[in-house]
Structure 1
Amino acid sequence: MFTQGEERNREVITQVKAAKEAAGKLSGATTGQKNQALLAMADAIWRNRQEILVANQQDVQDAQAAGQTASKVDRLQLNEKRLQDMMEGLRKLIELTDPIGELLETILRPDGLLIEKVRVPLGVIAMIYESRPNVTVDAAGLALKTGNAVVLRGGKEALRSNAALVKALKEGLEAVHLPTDAFQFINRTERESVDDLIQARGLVDLVIPRGGAGLIERVVKHSLVPVIETGVGNCHVYVDKQADLQKADAIVINAKTQRPSVCNAMETLLVHADIAEQWLPVILAQLMERGVEIRACERARAALAGNPQLREKAVPATDADWSTEFLDLIMNVKIVADVNEAIQHINTYGTLHSEAIVTEDPGSAQIFLQQVDAAAVYHNASTRFTDGFEFGFGAEIGISTQKLHARGPMGLKEMTSYKYLIKGNGQIRV
């Protein structure tokens, strides 16, 4: 007899081993086979849309009953438009160049040895994520196109949705005779099932956690497998004294309100002191009309002295606020003396994700672009563009906030490694 923990571990490892075997078969699939599978997967999502949406509605109802915030429910919720977006992401991958087999470098040695550096799949990728069912489809599509197997462990709040999506995706693989074991779904909710997965050294080649800071910290701390950190986005927009304020209005409103529940949404607005009294009341009024709660430094609240109603609504920011990823219609505001203070604030409190400057001064823009430490740094554009689809990658498996192997939106090439092929004619080393 096995204990409950032993049974859980056996189940997870059995799935991982099946993924490992499928990865070996999938690595030899042709580009045409993989593209046919992507198309079949998209068709299967639409064919099974009713089953998927019913499962998702049950997840949404449970989340609402549990008191989840509106922004968290939004991350979870599916509809036909969001399913069509998932399908479009899969179809977009068909148009992209298959990186597998790409010849990266050729070296001809004096002794006649020919050394070729060739791009290859990573193998088995473990995806550990929360809330957003679209990650299931994005991860599966990118893994397939790059010849990788993927083990999916989503959050308990999306358990039914993810199970229904994986069922449809497997139908797509089966339709073109590719191994359905290439997609594994961990249909368990115990936290320990995550440990079973991230400690499967020798079976799992890479772990990608995608979610809140707590999830990512847990995976990094306990994993025995290489990890790429993704997702946490304490993002800033700095509006310089030489900003075009019409551009600034549009960028700030978009960065905060277009979809506040995602990691590339702005959490803190930094404003040059010279334009604060003129512009802050204007932009904050627009944000508050859209339901944004403002947490402001004392200088920012003082700049609202001419508008007591706005000042009263702008509550004082705490030290903890500057480090918080709200993922909601909540925003910090801070007045800074210049671009250097803005950079200092960002490099102190940012999470190396996405940062923006709004200015018509090329000198300030260049300083900001060079000195801000983040995966994506913008000049006169919204942080909301940090996204694999927007970057032309078709989709993304995550947004890496670290510096080794991959940084920023992870598309096809970031899901590969390489090996050396050495061709000789009887050479021996002396």
Structure 2
Amino acid sequence: MIALTVTFLILLVLGAPIAIVLGASSLAYIIAADNARMLLVIPQKLYQGTDNFILLAIPFYLLAGELMNATGITQRLIHFFTTLLGHVRGALAQVSIVTSMMFSAISGTAASDAAAVGGVMIPAMKREGYDPAFAAAVQAASSTIAPIIPPSMVMILYAVFANISVAAIFAAGVLPGIILGLSQMMIVWIKARSGTLPPPAPRAARHEVASGFRDALLAFGMPVLILGGILSGAFTATEAAAVAVVYAAILGFTIYRNLTLPIVGKLLIRTAITTGGLLLIAATGYLFAWIMASEQIPTKAAQLMLAISENPVAFLLMVNILLLLLGTFMDTLAALIIVVPMLSPVAAQVGIDPVHFGVVVCFAIIQGMLTPPLGLLLFIVSQIARVRFEAVIRAIMPFLAVNLAVLLAISLAPGFVLFLPRLLGLIE
């Protein structure tokens, strides 16, 4: 285990891609074990890590998001919400959050949300006189909704590693995601009441709102199709992703007519590259998890945590603290791969529903994208806003506080998190 731990930490500090970190540290462990037969296990475990039907959803959701951006669906959503809410003080900040909530039901990744929505909204807020750091902070915070409201790449990977229903954890993420968005909108409302945000624009005429709605109507069809199909049982999560791709392609080729084969070719290449990276993480993560299991790390972790307390609430609080600390210096997927095989058996042992535990884990891990020194979302929005990274850190603090309050609430209220999956018959 020394070889694995040392290699893992060195590569992590050096900033190596997480797939390389997991694969190289696993290989170092096998070499240090001086057992040639274990080398034969590597291809088998790498294959098993990707041999899962659920993972087919990843390239489809990624491609659906790319097609949505290329067809201008994002811009249509932003235009409609700006027309609808433009007369409210702090309107553009509110529009940024609402659009991110809607975009969450399509993209499934926080980074895509920050880049796609932020690329439009942050410059718009700056033009209207918003403080650049605040504009960047709003977008960074609202982008954390994307991995909570389904579809979610993080939740898909959690379901794979924890062997639970994707549809169930997707359904469980809907209400926490909505509460998170509304809580962030409350922060903007409070700041607007203080008079520190630019004055609102004149109220749009009804015909302008109606025109914006008609223009965005087909864009609303995408999240309705995905969420409605999954939650109603009409589609599996993977089938819904494929249907979303077909829907976006039909809009681009026949309705909006702004998609061409060369554009689609570029989108397919980008999707393939991103998918390849995620599948490589899944493969090496499976190998890494197998080694941890062979060393009985999950069992030892269970014994340690149960020795502290067997109370489910105390356990969840310990998990939250652990994940928030890991998120400050570790990649989101790395933390997920390490924590899930180690802690999900403990959660089951103390009586925590695996779907509830999955939502809490995914929610907590995502907060690492808002905290330095990694803080991927902070880097993305600071570059878009052309503002110092340190300024965004200061501006993000009220939103981070709200995010953590929501995390605590969903940790203590399993009935709220599990209400929708139980209502839909996805869990007992």
Q: TM-score range by the shorter chain?
A: under 0.3
- Please, what TM-score do these two structures have when normalized by structure 2? 0.24
Report the structure, 1 or 2, having the larger helix content: 2
- Please, what TM-score do these two structures have when normalized by structure 1? 0.24
Q: Say which structure, 1 or 2, has more relative contact order (CA 8 Å, 6+ apart).
A: 2
